[in-house]
Amino acid sequence: MQVVTRVNPTVRAAGIVALVVTALLGSAYVLGRSLIPDQPQQRKTTGVTTNADGPYYADQPTEATPSAAPSAAPSAAPSAAPTAGRSAGPTEAGQDGSGRDAGGGQLFGAHTSTGTPRLALTFDDGPDPRYTPQVLAMLREFDVKATFCVVGENAQDHPDLIQAIVDGGHTLCNHSWHHDVTLGNRSADMIRADLLRTNEAIRAAVPDAPIVWYRQPGGAWTYPVVSVAQQLGMTPLHWSVDPQDWDLPGASKIAATVTSQAEPGSVVLLHDAGGDRQGTMDALRRILPDLTARFELEALPTDPT
């Protein structure tokens, strides 16, 4: 005998209502999630005080911010023969393998390390008749060789100081003609002309000087400026320790930043021009005894490989 089970109409209605409410809640959740923007991934930090994402590292803080995209890609071949040396492949030191530094800044292969246990001091924006001789004297006192990233117009104005840098056994680095932070956003021809003009000013003072390094003002690297520099036989040079001496934090803070962050292979950014650098000079007097006791210091090689 077949048993027929009757469902109470009230129970059936309650079940239908529950199903409808459940469906509505699920739809509302999906709709709500679609309206929430994706959260960006948090960037890794390295402890390096510089921010390569910015258009400048503030030794020229009043320059206009460059646009996101370069105005032109470099041509396949340079318009002039390489000036010296040969370009080198990018080092992976200080990078995550993606062409960025660990902090997220685009470096396009610019070197952030010496690639050896040795540490490199670099001095930007000179030569300057007041401060560059002080730097040279202190380096000579401690028997240290360094790298000077010189601005073309300053090299033209002070050829005797370019000669003094070379005579001291230090390495020269091209730092553009007029410290143009936006240079990397200009056409390949304009970039090439700027770099060649700077090299010519350096060679007017020291005809046989090897110039195999290029540092972009502000660390505002772009693919075109890196590519043109390499075509001209220069290796892009960034840094890994930046005490921000451009901001006049005082000798104690400059010295503390450098001595605490320095490690084997570090490239230290300092300035011997571009403003009041007495704080840097005073800090250097404290930095050199500490670093020479802990590291071998070197001028970057004039034949990078």
Which among 226, 240, 215 is positioned nearest to 112, based on CA atoms? 240
Residue 210: both structure tokens together: 């090897």
179-207 burial, b at 16+ Cβ within 10 Å, e below that, comes to bbbbbbbbbbebbbbbbbbbbebbbebbe
Q: Answer yes or no: are the C-beta atoms of 236 and 88 closer than 8 Å.
A: no
Which among 110, 105, 122 is positioned nearest to 242, based on CA atoms? 122
Peptide bond into 224 cis (omega under 30): no
Catalytic residue check, 124? yes
Catalytic residue check, 271? yes
Catalytic residue of the set 170, 179, 271, 272: 271
DSSP β-ladder status, 120-124 and 147-150: parallel
Catalytic residue of the set 59, 124, 194, 245: 124
List residues with catalytic annotation: 124, 271
